[in-house]
Amino acid sequence: MNVYKFGGASVKDAEGVKNLFKIINTQRENLIIVVSAMGKMTDALEVLCNSYFGKTGNIAEVFQRIQDFHQQIIRDLFGSADSEVNARVEALYQELDTILKSDPSLCYDYEYDRIICFGELLSTTIIAAYLEKQGRKAKFTDIRKCLITDQNYRNACVDIELSAQLCRKTFNFQDTFMYITQGFIAGTTTNQTTTLGREGSDYTAALLANLLDAEDVTIWKDVPGIMNADPKIYENTEIISKLSYKEAIELSNCGAKVIHPKTIKPLQNKGIPLFVRSFLYPESHGSVIRELDEKLKLPPIYINKGDQLLLTLSPRDFSFIAEEKLSRIFATLAKYRLRLNLMQNSAITFSFCIDYNEAIFESFIDELHDEYEVLYNKNVRLLTIRHYNEDIIQQLTSHKNVLVEQRSRLTARFVVADN
């Protein structure tokens, strides 16, 4: 059995869906297809969620744009006469509309998860209908019924034992050899929707592979494999044909978009290889992540993570930044579901870099203000260079305003302000 994961870029329009069909149509073994929201739909739903929760902006206008986007893809795939797929999609619109017309709860994370999931539900509903129309029926499966988590909304922890039982029962391949399901989202034992962390569809694919003992996982992307840098930002990039699990974990935790940070561990536990291939050139071999005995000589790998927030905290009483204060800072970060991307402290300051989230920014800063003087920079970038040398550091950081610098034996990191 194989697991294929298709990200938003691979199904951003009708041509992408048709290309997905071409790729899976060559598959003859048992297959699970994990699909993300189409295009930038998760971003659009985040805007919708923030407007709903904050009671700001034009909710109806944002919601209409989301519907128009999906309806255009449906028209391009089916024409305007396919009443069955329109009925399935309309039911999802109505479900979301009911949420938007109700008053939000006091928990942003809960509201986020129950709104954001519609990206994946819409994409898999449309794609399943298209595959069926093409004579390649894939059984639609709501992953929320079998991938069970706790109620830690926006970054839920999976109940592995219960999920294994339910997934083996659901994906049994008795009446089909192909399933289509959602990435990123999951459910609780009380039928509440949760999510596994932003860009978590890779993690879904890895979990299913682990729980079902898959032969391998393939992630289909818009790049020819794992690159040493983002080719949309940098020139003269190169493909890295193979990586060890350990190196992949290091890169993903530094912000490499090619793999979600949680993806590798479930695969490494069972020795399942992960392939990264191009949906634009499916005949190419791409890259593979697996257990490797040899030590690879890797080129400098650089990761540019934007939309960051750099904060520096100084205790108002001029006390030291010691373990007790650090524990309280970390507790506040955990409360707001914020992940540290970089941290650095001196005797009386603690600096750290996190993803910027406008919806919770003010309340997060206000809570820190109770005990600390807070300085911050918005719109900064976190540049990580793995396997660095001085030439590449000079090339990438010269003429930039470097706010924070860190170096270890293999990794150099810089927080730079966008000029």
Q: What percent of the chain has pLDDT over 90?
A: 79
| Per-residue pLDDT at 360 | 87
- 9-202 has which fold? Carbamate kinase (3.40.1160)
User: From CA 70, how far away is CA 128, in angstroms rounded?
Assistant: 14
**What kind of fold does domain 301-417 have according to CATH?**
VC0802-like (3.30.2130)
pLDDT at position 52 over 90: yes
Confidence (pTM): 0.86
Structure tokens at 3: 């697991």
* Residue 40 neighbours by CB under 8 Å, 6+ apart: 8, 12
Averaged pLDDT, 300-316: 93
Mean pLDDT over each residue of the chain, to the nearest integer: 93
Tell me what the mean pLDDT of segment 190-203 comes to: 92
Domain with CATH 3.30.2130.10 in the chain: 301-417
| Cα–Cα distance, 108 to 42 (Å, whole number) | 16
Checking if the pLDDT of 80 tops 80, the result is no
In the chain, list all ranges with CATH 3.40.1160.10.
9-202
What is the pLDDT, as a whole number, of residue 13? 97
Whether residue 199 has pLDDT greater than 80: no
pLDDT in tens, 277-301: 999 999 998 999 999 988 888 999 9
* Helical ranges in 196-351 per DSSP H: 201-212, 245-253, 264-270, 323-335
Interval 207-263: pLDDT, tens? 999 999 999 999 999 889 999 998 888 888 999 999 999 999 889 888 887 777 789
Neighbour order of strands in the sheet with 242-244: 139-140, 178-182, 31-35, 2-6, 216-221, 274-278, 287-290, 242-244
In the chain, how long is the greatest CA-to-CA distance?
70
The span from the CA of 21 to the CA of 33, in Å, is 11
